[in-house]
Amino acid sequence: MVKHVNSLHEQVAQQLRDLIFAGELSPGVFVDEIRLCEQLAISRTPLREALKVLTAEGLIRHEPRRGCFVNQVTEQDLDEIFPVIALLEGRCAFEAAQQATDADIAALKSLHTQLQDSALKGRIEDYYAANYAIHEAIIAIAGNKWLDQVIGDLRKILKLARLQQLNAPGRLSQSLSEHMAIFEALKARDATGAESAMRTHLTRQREALRQLALQSKSRITAVNTKHQLMGEAT
């Protein structure tokens, strides 16, 4: 019976993640437990257990006497997360270079061919998909379950932020170049080089996101200034 309950709240937790990542539960929104119970056709017990799981993952925050809210990722959060995930994925690349078989390298070569093709044709969504698959493959090759677990948790937080770093000018070609450097190091079984290249890749992702945030802030400031001047002129 206990096993069934655990399975149910884990299913509910995944349903909630899907709603959050799809934007149906957007950052900052109040989690209406009554409505969700009706929507998911469940009782309050598995929902509340699922909310505890998502709170531990950082996707949900609980405020005493107010309830649960979908978490919001700030620029400070990103500044704190990216150095950590760069270290962790860098270590994955290090271990992957030591563990990789010829079959692993062949599989990575195929993924990088997809990555290059997507970049050449400007297919951003396909590029993101290939990029994700490559990172997952490197983690799998490393075979370190603890790195896998912690990176997975951090990735959920980053996914919550709906990051689109490839929209930064020149970022697509830069990202491709970084990935090819990682692949060359893995192919050469150069663990130190793979680690360094991966850390550079993640660090530059954060730089691209910061650039986009500054551009967005500048556009908003310009629009507000224009509106203010138009208001003064009337």
* 128-150: average pLDDT: 96
pLDDT tens per residue across span 155-170 = 988 888 766 788 888 9
* 71-75: average pLDDT: 88
The torsion angles phi and psi of 143, rounded to 5 degrees, stand at 70, 25
Instruction: Give the pLDDT confidence score for residue 105 in this predicted structure.
Output: 98
- Binned at pLDDT 50, 70 and 90, residue 223 comes out as low
- Asked whether the beta carbons of 54 and 156 are under 8 A apart, the reply is no
Instruction: Please determine, for residue 5, whether its predicted confidence score (pLDDT) is greater than 50.
Output: no
Rounded to an integer, what distance in angstroms lies between the CA atom of residue 49 and that of residue 45? Answer: 6
Instruction: Give the pLDDT confidence score for residue 229 in this predicted structure.
Output: 58
Say if 186 falls within a structural domain: yes
Q: Measured in whole angstroms, how far is the alpha carbon of residue 38 from the centre of its chain?
A: 30
Higher pLDDT, 219 or 217: 217
Rounded to an integer, what distance in angstroms lies between the CA atom of residue 74 and that of residue 145? Answer: 28
pLDDT tens per residue across span 96-109 = 999 999 999 999 99
Looking at 35, 53, 70, the residue that finishes a domain is 70
Residue from 91, 114, 116 nearest 192 by CA = 91
Are 7 and 32 part of one and the same domain?
yes
Give me the number of domains the chain comprises. Answer: 2
Residue from 137, 131, 217, 144 nearest 177 by CA = 131
Are 40 and 86 part of one and the same domain?
no
Rounded to an integer, what distance in angstroms lies between the CA atom of residue 197 and that of residue 138? Answer: 13
How many Cβ atoms from other residues are within 10 Å of residue 232's Cβ? 7
Are 196 and 108 part of one and the same domain?
yes
- Binned at pLDDT 50, 70 and 90, residue 8 comes out as confident
Are 15 and 111 part of one and the same domain?
no
Are 19 and 133 part of one and the same domain?
no
Are 54 and 88 part of one and the same domain?
no
Q: Output the domain CATH number for residue 65.
A: 1.10.10.10
